[in-house]
Structure 1
Amino acid sequence: MFSLDPLNYHPIFPATMTGRRFEQILRCLNCADDENKEDNLYKVSSLVKSIIQSNQNMFSPPEALSLDESLLLFRGRLRFRVYIKNKKSKYGIKFYELCSNDGYVLNIEIYKGKSNREDVSGSSKRNSLVLRLLEPFLDKGHHIYMDNFYNSVQLSEILLQRKTHSTGTLRSNRKGNPKEVTGAKLKSGQHIWRRKGNVYVSKWRDKRDILSITTGYKPELVETANRYGHKKTKPLMVSCYNDNMSGIDRADQIISYHSCPRKTIRWHKKVIFHLLDIAVWNSHYLHNHNQKDNKTFKEFRNDLIKSLLGISPDQRDGREFVSLMKKTKSIPSKKSRENLGHVLEAIPVPENKKGKKQIYKRCKQCYLEQRRKDTAWQCRDCIGKPSLCVGDCFQVWHKA
């Protein structure tokens, strides 16, 4: 079924922006910070800081936070490209993300390869990474959920000193783990734990051994039910971890349905578009959180695009919008050109460039107004045949 919705009405694209203009903007798109070229991420670092600052200023997160990594697909040549076999993309640019438990992105750090950065915790680089991401939220009573890549007894003690609880799975070879727990052989359903101060390390046998660590829960067994209503007994820390760890996965899932990254060999463009997707997702989250209208992500994106194009929410017929755009942007009609006494013509192709279909020159009126814009048209009747943009520039040039 054909749609007359202004956003899906096909002629809206040339009426809004020419394809050549879009390609020029896309080709020159850049967020580089030339003052810090020693940084591998200098091409996107200023945009990352701006988006992080806006995200944190616009929302006060709940107690539960989750930290995990996300992978942006990129197969080009890049010194800090990574390979993660259990991810769908496998090759790409790795993002460390801190989110609320329901998906609002609060902080981002992009992996840029091995570095000699000093550890703020005085211990491992892994602990230093966690503390950098959590820095704006420490000493505020939050509870952070992480997987076994980050967790350790030492990190839990450091976070507890900063009034932040932590819960998550744990690797058996981490330094400081109690050998009585890691070396225990359990039968299905058995549970064993040990305590060091307020840090609890436990092992529970389900289909396999599950080693976990927490400073926010006591090691007790509770009865839970899955989405099918099947009841099961499991440790409280495991149940709470499953309920609060899906923030990053939820954000990645929703963004992937309507993402805007294009295929390109320039890594910074993919990162820029992905960061804009994150910003739109956070805006959608805040809209639903405040307005309570449960608008879908696609509906919110469409409304956002309409507002940027100047389309009224009440406008239902795309033909009206396109006709309005054509009145302000198209070539003057034959009658209006005759009244002006001048006529537009295409810039002729010179003999040495016969292979080209069109020739573009800089618009004279745009140059006077300190704008950079090329055009394929010139005035046939003016002395010197100045190149002019169709529409306003043509009329303003002849009225002056």
Structure 2
Amino acid sequence: MYPGPLHGFNDKTAKVVLQLMEGYLDTGHVLVMDNWYNQLLLTRYLKSRCTDVLGTISRRRKGIPHAIKYLNPKQLERGVSVGRHCGDIALVAWKDVKLVTVLSTYHQHEMVPGRRAGQVVLKPTVVQEYNRYMGGVDLKDQKLSMFLLERKRNRKWYMKVFKMLLNTSLLNAFIIYLRNPMYRMYSHRQFRLKVAEGLLSRYPRVSSVPPRVPNQLQRLVLRLEPGNHFPIYTEADSRPGKKNRKQLRCVRCTALKKRVVVIVMCKLCQVPLCLGKCWEDYHTVENL
């Protein structure tokens, strides 16, 4: 909506934030952002307008200190944190399952006790505060982190979008389920299993293909079945310049270690055979 600079910012994401904050600056609010919008220059400007900032930030942003920008998450143990300060801005990188980088204009590099999977752990104050006030997007990603349907192997982008929407729909259904105080019987994982079981019972798989019969048994049933064992010619030779029919080896002669080629086959069994004794034996003898 603003083709030109807004408050001196030409960056599109910064202009989105400033446009949404019109009328709320200079009144002492705290703005919580995720790493899509957060950046150091924008944070300094908002702080100058009496607006504190709290949120995650990408380590690839301009102005991130080298001590945090070039951290190797694989070399850090879980629970380790690194902090840097510049004036009122505190930047803290904390290794949990992944490396989380959080920026704040009203916190210090302090650790407070928290809980993870039922165990007491120490986490930075900025992380605890961000988890308390973060919006629906990060909360959704957090709740779906253990139930990923979409994978990077998907080469078709629309399949990844479909799976993401399906996964989000399941989460929304679980949230609605929790709103009813009478039905809080299942956890998130159990709820998903119940949904899957319900869908399978309501929409069972209907296969139009008959159950597959092993080749040997199928051939035995066909060749001994009285009926349309009529001879037909093999198909025409598709090679260029060839006008004759394909010559195939007789299956009965092949079993007797003889090499005989024919151009006729059984219409029902779809196997090449010599007319005469080979034909009769193949359709009458049970143990060839």
What TM-score comes out, normalization by structure 1 length? 0.32
Task: Identify which of structures 1 and 2 has the higher relative contact order when contacts are C-alpha pairs closer than 8 Å and 6+ apart.
Answer: 1
What TM-score comes out, normalization by structure 2 length? 0.44
